[in-house]
Amino acid sequence: MFWNPIKPLLKQIEIRSNPGNEPVTVDWIPEALEQVGTGTDAVVVRHPSYPDIVFKVYADGREEARKNEFEVYRRLGESPYFPVCHGMDEGFLVLSHEPGVTLYECIVQGIRIPAKVVDEVEEARNYVRSVGLNPRDIHLKNVLLQEGHAKLLDVSEYLKPGDDGRWDHLVQAFESFYPLIEGKKIPVWLIELVKKTYYDQVNGDFSIAEFGRQFIQLLVRGKR
């Protein structure tokens, strides 16, 4: 495998998984590696010898997640909506490096999110269904704005049943409320508060309209 020379470095990475669907804790990464992302199961790193590649290194106990994600990429094949998986090795996946900013970062930085990106995510979801997978766990942090187009990251839950509804709710919020914040920088603390409020309320009698009014009130308070 072309990545064999840096396998010893990848094995030195020290990470721990956390309860409550929280991102992994990174205890140590060799200086030769650049950390480019974290998730609930793994950390993503790059090496300068492979600028077009990232290595998704999984925490101990997350072997099933690694195998499931590899199977998802196998079924997806080559698609403009997803990274390319070049292979699986002991403890990690080898994926294409995808430059860009997440939709979460767009909101924080005040970068405009084109409406066609939302449409492309829906096209990607339809493609996922067409290959017998379930497009779930799609949210602001795993959709990339890449040269004006959508790229979906982290496909690890596409083998799971059920619809978490997160993307559908985001689309409703985008259509109803995004024009009010388009191009404006939104503080991280406010986004996180909105997210927590969403999780607290979504399992009840949930309404995007009611939730959106709370969001606007929070936004107004955040400007004071």
pLDDT above 90 for 51: yes
**In terms of domains, do 58 and 113 share one?**
no
Residue at which a domain ends, from 96, 125, 140: 96
Provide, rounded to the nearest whole percent, the portion of the chain with pLDDT above 90.
Answer: 72
Tell me the pLDDT tens digit for each residue of 165-208.
Answer: 889 989 998 998 899 899 999 999 989 888 888 887 777 677 77
**In terms of domains, do 45 and 86 share one?**
yes
Which of 120-124, 200-204, 215-219 reaches the highest mean pLDDT?
120-124
**In terms of domains, do 121 and 159 share one?**
yes
- CATH assignment of the domain containing 159: 1.10.510
| Paired residues of 42 in beta bridges | 58
**In terms of domains, do 115 and 197 share one?**
yes
**In terms of domains, do 20 and 89 share one?**
yes
pLDDT given for residue 186 in this prediction: 92
- The neighbour count for residue 93, using CB atoms within 10 Å, is 23
Segment among 88-102, 113-127, 188-202 with least mean pLDDT: 188-202
C-beta of residue 174 within 8 angstroms of C-beta of residue 118: yes
C-beta of residue 15 within 8 angstroms of C-beta of residue 9: no
**In terms of domains, do 80 and 117 share one?**
no
pLDDT given for residue 220 in this prediction: 57
**In terms of domains, do 150 and 193 share one?**
yes
Count of structural domains, the chain: 2
pLDDT given for residue 204 in this prediction: 66
Domain housing 185 = 101-223
pLDDT given for residue 164 in this prediction: 82
pTM (2 decimals)? 0.87
Tokens at residue 38, please?
């974290």
* Distant-in-sequence, close-in-space partners of 65: CB < 8 Å, separation ≥ 6: 41, 42, 58, 156
- CATH assignment of the domain containing 42: 3.30.200.20
pLDDT above 70 for 113: yes
**In terms of domains, do 138 and 154 share one?**
yes
pLDDT given for residue 24 in this prediction: 94
pLDDT given for residue 182 in this prediction: 93
C-beta of residue 170 within 8 angstroms of C-beta of residue 137: no
Tell me which residue of 25, 43, 24, 47 sits closest to 34, measured CA to CA. Answer: 47
**In terms of domains, do 47 and 116 share one?**
no
What Rg value do the Cα atoms of the chain yield, rounded? 18
Residue at which a domain ends, from 51, 80, 96: 96
Tell me the pLDDT tens digit for each residue of 151-160.
Answer: 999 898 999 9
**In terms of domains, do 91 and 109 share one?**
no
Provide, rounded to the nearest whole percent, the portion of the chain with pLDDT above 70.
Answer: 95
Report the pLDDT averaged over residues 38-52: 94
Q: Find the Cα–Cα–Cα–Cα dihedral 205, 222, 175, 201, rounded to 10°.
A: -10
Residue at which a domain ends, from 96, 125, 144: 96
Averaged pLDDT score across all residues of the chain: 91
Is beta strand 143-146 parallel, antiparallel or unpaired with respect to 149-152?
antiparallel
C-beta of residue 117 within 8 angstroms of C-beta of residue 149: yes
**In terms of domains, do 106 and 207 share one?**
yes
C-beta of residue 178 within 8 angstroms of C-beta of residue 113: yes
**In terms of domains, do 106 and 213 share one?**
yes
